[in-house]
Amino acid sequence: MQKKQIYETEKDCPICLGKFNATRTRVGLRLTGMDPDFRMRYEGIEPMFYLIWVCPHCGYAAQEDSFSSLSDKARTVVLKALEGKTVGLNLLGERTLEQALTSYKLALYFAELRSLPASKIGGLYLKMAWLYRDKQEAELEQVCLTKATEYYIQAYSNEAFPIGKMTENTIIYLVANLLDCIGESKQAGTWLSKIIGGKKKSGEVRLYTMAQDLWHRIKSKRDAVGLTNQE
């Protein structure tokens, strides 16, 4: 990893009020591809390793976009959870895969304490699944994918669109893809039908194509299983 691709910036912890340096990736990284479940691939560095900021003083952790936006009630809940605990975890600088996983586990703990929206928690589980995929730990990847699916289904039912940068159809496709990944292809097909059978929306031509590709992959797997059962 080239050191110039990361840099440090001083931040204030909203929990213990201490100052610390957070590591960030620079803009302009070269995108090399995208997995079907929206995992972006970059050249030379993994930005996902640095999305979680962790206070080295108290251990509070959260994704950058929700790190400081705590209500008074949430801050009180987090302070109570940390009372009497010593963390001593400093993730400044270049992170390993294991350190990145640690940061996401902490972020999930605090996200659930804060009762963050289901889409936020689902996103953390999905990124953890990608990290376990890189680590080639298929069982833990599946556990995280299952949790991500559950939370995104909750988000679809309860949150207003767009959710972050995701439109309604984006969430539908993602849920279908995740269901397929965890072996629920029948449910995946039901979700996909919301896109395939609906009216094409402007600006979502690529998403519609991805949905069709996933539909054909699911159908091919079903056909293969059917042929196997007939043998």
- Per residue in 65-110, pLDDT (tens digit) is 999 999 999 999 999 999 988 777 889 889 999 999 999 999 999 9
Q: Give me the amino acid identity at 40.
A: M
Whether the model clears a pTM of 0.85, i.e. scores above it, the answer is yes
pLDDT, average across residues 33-58: 92
Q: Is 204 in a helix, a strand, or coil?
A: coil
Stretch 42-60: mean pLDDT: 93
Per-residue pLDDT reduced to its tens digit, 158-203:
999 999 999 999 999 999 999 999 999 999 999 999 998 877 777 8
- So what's the pLDDT on residue 125? 98
Alpha carbon of 152 to those of 50, 137, 168, 172, 207: distances in Å? 23, 22, 11, 9, 17
Distance, CA of 143 to CA of 147 (rounded, Å): 6
Q: Which residues of 166-195 are buried (b: 16+ CB within 10 A; e: fewer)?
A: bebbbbbbbbbbbbbbbebbebbbebbebb
Instruction: Name the burial class of residue 1, with classes exposed (0-12), middle (13-18) and buried (19+) by CB atoms within 10 angstroms of its CB.
Output: exposed
Q: How high is the pLDDT of residue 228?
A: 45
Rounded to the nearest 10 degrees, the angle between the axes of helix 72-82 and helix 97-113 is 120
* Domain assignments of the chain as residue spans, ordered by start: 1-116, 161-231
d(CA 178, CA 50): 24
Q: Are 121 and 158 in contact (CB under 8 A)?
A: no
Which two three-digit tokens encode residue 176? 């279908």
Of the two residues 222 and 143, the one the predictor is more confident about is 143
CA atoms in the 13 A half-sphere facing the CB of 6: 20
Which pLDDT score, from 0 to 100, does residue 227 have? 46
Question: Dihedral sign, CA of 199, 175, 224, 230?
Answer: negative
Residue 180 CA neighbour count, 13 Å, CB half: 24
